Amino acid sequence: MNFQFSGTFTHWSWTRFKKGEFVEDESYEWSDVELDRGLGVRIRETKYFIFFREIRYKQREHNYWIEKAGGWRIKIPFCKTYEETKIAN
């Protein structure tokens, strides 16, 4: 019997369209990703885990598409950034 352990516990809360223009929350770090989408990440660290919340959005002419995710990652001592931890988990 094989058992696998995943170091990431992710929860995608919802995806939807909303009317109007998306306003970026200042508590997130924002960056652009491919296909004209924005990505916001908020991170909180504990002694052994990292809690993350991600928001992805794409602005259109009269509305925007938004998707939220959150979860826990295991803190790895040799990973110095969030991206390194994301890849390692």
Report the number of distinct structural domains present in the chain.
1
- Of residues 2 and 47, more confidence is placed in 47
CA nearest neighbour of 11 among 79, 73, 76: 73
Decide: 30 and 37 in contact? Cβ < 8 Å.
no
pLDDT digits (tens, 9 = 90+) for 24-63: 888 888 888 777 788 888 988 888 888 889 888 888 888 9
- Give the model's confidence band at 9: pLDDT under 50 very low, under 70 low, under 90 confident, else very high: low
In a domain, 33, yes or no: no
> Letter for the amino acid at 6?
S
Is residue 5 pLDDT above 70, yes or no? no
Q: How far apart are the first and last CA of the chain?
A: 22
Measured in degrees and rounded to the nearest 5, phi and psi for residue 37 equal -105, 150
Tokens standing for residue 25: 């929350």
In a domain, 61, yes or no: yes
What local confidence, expressed as pLDDT, does residue 4 receive?
37
Is residue 2 pLDDT above 70, yes or no? no
In a domain, 11, yes or no: no
CA–CA separation, 7 vs 82, rounded Å?
Answer: 14
In a domain, 2, yes or no: no
In a domain, 3, yes or no: no
Q: Which domain holds residue 83?
A: 44-89
Residue indicated by tokens 């998306």: 22
In a domain, 1, yes or no: no
